[in-house]
A and B are shown apart, each in its own frame.
Chain A
């Protein structure tokens, strides 16, 4: 009698295999290549993936492969950690470190609402991306991931990050999934992969020829017509074909005569599930019973767990299951056993009566809990076996959620949702879990979902004990969305609570301070900060003391009391340094100090402070603070005149902010992008960026640095010839600052407003502005503040000598744009007085500075002024940088290229250059576009070639 061949050849998939081969070739040549294979269960995705990965070795690629499991959808990073071999016992310290990171538990931290900082998640994402990058740079890597429809949210988040960040790496991503309703995280990962050029393959049913070949392979004989007609019931699904054949063979229905296999009698067309069960029915009774018990544990299980749940010794189980392994129902995979196909698992599992399944899950959960299994595993079984109100299931789900929260808030939210689903409607613990779930959603960056969850809780009758914390977190959710007015309303409601314990009161007062500061209500912000500081100090809450200190310092900063502001924040930093485990740094004081130093023109110190702060933020897992550091590090580059670096930094900051849903800095980033584009003459981009900033404000309401958007709009209007409107806009912007006492921006806005006011015949306004700027300059020691005051005064009086003094003042500082604009003003004033000999050098100085900044529009304007004086400049300044080719690379881009050529990874380059890995990636994207290449390998080769003298064009 014929038997089932061990593993039939892959048939009928030549086209798909060729497509996968092309993908692997692309990766081997140094570029990211992605294929997503989609198809129904049993259609051969796993087999195709295995074959493709088998063929990678001939292409010199290394392979990492993993498979998601239905019962492990809530294991954070499970899929990728398995695929990449991140095990605590790994000999590779990086892999072991990742495993240790993932094993971090937050069980002792209590409710998710107060421990939902997803810093650990982002550390793990970065660590996994770094590992893949390092591996791929050692040797091209193929990463095969099966059953993505069951992948955990954190692995999907990492997958999306991989596709975004490693576009230039020799990496092949091969993913398989079933066409079934997709979770949001899977949809986002697929979108990211498609954006990175992923190819989609849909596996159709096999054609007749392929089925005949598969049958022939399986029965090791030429199939006869009746046999093929029988097999046609499988509809070209290869698993169904082999299972049907297996059942026929087992029943002895297939006879091979003279090399031709045939069935004697036609059999009723079965379903795939019944076919599988029919084949299983020949196994011994005991084996079947154990398989049923094993199916409760999922499509893959360990004998230890099975022993725990069945109470039978491992040795006995392994003997009983040997028949299932011989029959190719189970297969061994490392130290686990798994059903050869999920459909085989499913057939056995679904054949159990519902009551038995529920009972077995409950029993498994109970026994696993007794044996000290992970909360997640216990919770999964208890939840599947739970009836409404099952206290044990609810408690374990909540415990698992709290453990998962730091590394995967999305998983925590899902587990809490399940716990809530099991609760009796009137359960007194319901509101606590609802609040925790909302906190987890916030941690997952799903801010609008979190807001909806908090509102759902607060808008109905609820447990008074959760009211205050839930409202505080609702306010923070609103703040994170930039909706400061809405946040403040919630905080004001909270202030009316008769009894708030100190920790909560301090948190409310601190948050109120932040909201009022953002809304420009400086006096009340300072008052709230003072209260918060005092309450937090009494309660021993170091982060809140820091928050209150920061608000106080920022109030002073905005009032342009810069030395005082600096003293306050530096005192706060010393206090935070001395706090237990540096808890005081859980509010980003470095960020505040960095900002103040920027105002004081101490750019180098600001830069190193912001870099330190970013490092502290990473160490303490404060992912939310990282975009702030990126934005202000980019601001430093902007002020220092390194605009390409600034733009790269802004792009990196926006990517980082998008990952966490944070929108705090969007207005500022878009406003500065608009300003840079304006100076460079790209009015279309300037318009788009200004519109984005304004849209953001429209959606969230006004807040701190809203006026930068108005400033950008005013300059854009001026550039479009609408000087009157420009004046009106900038005057409105100034008034907004004046009403709030935001004196720190007077020197920023002043010179433009004096110029526009003067042009509009509003001399009184110009005088008031110049006086206000002078007052700020007198109270603070910074070259650019002195320069701004002199420039305003000089413009007001049309006095070239004063403007010349402004140029000298700016020259003492680090800001080339302001220096260039002052030189232009001084030159123009001298020209108006007929002193061409004074005007020309000043205008030349301006033009050179503008060209260095790439400010083409400004340079053209100054050039026109020179022409009016009869001077044709010729080629005196630095050559204009071309748009494409090696000569177009900025100094930072050249350095990044050199380091890529040395074989460094993005994080390594980032460390070397004190920039973030994302900024390195942004630089590389720019380099690739300028050089028309698409891979790191190609870049390194090209860089090496250029180092050889004969290869240089000159």
Chain B
């Protein structure tokens, strides 16, 4: 799979994130664009598209 990020602004970043489906099935997430703002927003958008790295317990962060 491929993730395309379009940036409207660099620091803190803002823009849209889109998963471009490849030949392999994608783990999860929509093919639509996900807007984000800030690094936190970018990370959250990534989790939305590809899923979080692990499901951490709430007190492990």
Contact = CB atoms under 8 A, between A and B. Distances in A.
Contacts of A356: 37
A261 B38 CA distance: 32
Given A351-B12, A352-B38, A353-B12, A281 B56 contact: no
Contacts of A274: 39
B60 A277 contact: no
Interface stretch (A199-207, A247-255, A303-311, A854-862): A247-255
Interface string A327-346: 10000000000000000000
Interface string B46-61: 0100001110111111
B40 A3 contact: no
A3 B43 contact: no
B16 interface: no
Nearest to B41: A351
Interface string A464-499: 000000000000000000000000000000000000
Which among B14, B37, B38, B43 has the greatest number of chain A C-beta atoms within 10 A?
B38
Nearest to B54: A252
A353 B57 CA distance: 30
A277 B60 CA distance: 15
A348 B12 CA distance: 11
A889 B60 CA distance: 68
A251 B54 contact: yes
A348 to B, nearest CB: 8
Contact of A281 (B9, B12, B47, B60): B47
Contact of B9 (A3, A285, A351, A353): A353
A906 B41 CA distance: 59
A350 B40 CA distance: 11
Which among A253, A350, A353 has the greatest number of chain B C-beta atoms within 10 A?
A353
A253 B59 CA distance: 16
Given A279-B61, A285-B44, A252 B38 contact: no
A279 B58 CA distance: 12
A752 B56 CA distance: 93
B58 to A, nearest CB: 6
A282 B38 contact: no
B12 A352 contact: yes
Interface string A1-12: 101100000000
A649 B22 CA distance: 88
Contacts of A4: 60
Given A281-B47, A282-B52, A353-B12, A250 B60 contact: yes
Given A3-B59, A352-B12, A356-B37, A281 B43 contact: yes
B60 A280 contact: no
A351 B52 CA distance: 20
Interface residues of B, number: 20
B56 A252 contact: yes
Contact of A278 (B12, B43, B60): B43
A1 B60 contact: yes
A71 interface: no
Nearest to A274: B39
A175 to B, nearest CB: 33
Nearest to A291: B40
B40 A281 contact: yes
B15 to A, nearest CB: 11
Which among B37, B39, B56 has the greatest number of chain A C-beta atoms within 10 A?
B39
A3 B58 CA distance: 11
Interface in B1-30: 9, 12, 14
Contact of B59 (A251, A280, A327): A327
A811 interface: no
Contacts of B43: 277-278, 281
B61 A252 contact: no
Nearest to A247: B61
B55 to A, nearest CB: 9
A326 B44 contact: no
Interface in A313-333: 323, 326-327
Given A246-B61, A250-B61, A282 B56 contact: yes
B60 to A, nearest CB: 5
Contacts of B38: 351-353
A326 B58 CA distance: 8
A772 interface: no
A288 interface: yes
B58 A281 contact: no
Which among B41, B56, B59 has the greatest number of chain A C-beta atoms within 10 A?
B56
Nearest to B9: A353
Contacts of B52: 282
Given A252-B54, A281-B47, A282-B56, A353 B61 contact: no
A1 B54 CA distance: 11
A326 B56 contact: no
Contacts of B41: 351
B39 A327 contact: no
A242 to B, nearest CB: 13
B23 to A, nearest CB: 24
A176 B28 CA distance: 49
A842 B60 CA distance: 95
A246 B59 CA distance: 11
B39 A353 contact: no
Interface in A753-811: none
A671 B57 CA distance: 77
A350 B37 CA distance: 12
Nearest to A249: B60
Nearest to A283: B61
Given A3-B60, A326-B59, A281 B53 contact: no
A277 B61 CA distance: 11
A288 to B, nearest CB: 6
A277 B37 CA distance: 13
A776 B37 CA distance: 86
A273 B40 CA distance: 11
B59 to A, nearest CB: 5
Contacts of A282: 52, 56, 61
B11 to A, nearest CB: 9
Contacts of A353: 9, 12, 14, 37-38
Contact of A250 (B14, B39, B56): B56
B53 A251 contact: yes
Interface in A229-286: 246, 249-253, 273-274, 277-283, 285
Contacts of B53: 251-253
A4 B14 CA distance: 31
Given A281-B47, A288-B40, A323 B58 contact: yes
Contacts of B58: 323, 326-327
A326 B57 CA distance: 11
A247 to B, nearest CB: 8
A609 B25 CA distance: 96
Given A251-B53, A252-B56, A356-B37, A327 B61 contact: yes
A355 to B, nearest CB: 10
A4 B56 CA distance: 12
A348 B47 CA distance: 18
By Cβ-Cβ distance, the 7 closest A-B pairs, closest first, are A252-B54, A281-B43, A351-B38, A282-B61, A327-B61, A251-B53, A250-B61
Given A250-B60, A251-B53, A327-B58, 14 more contacts: A249-B60, A252-B53, A252-B54, A253-B53, A277-B39, A278-B43, A279-B61, A280-B40, A282-B61, A288-B40, A323-B58, A326-B58, A327-B61, A353-B37
Interface of B: 9, 12, 14, 37-41, 43-44, 47, 52-54, 56-61
13 contacts: A3-B60, A246-B61, A250-B56, A250-B60, A250-B61, A252-B54, A280-B40, A281-B40, A281-B47, A282-B52, A323-B58, A327-B58, A351-B41
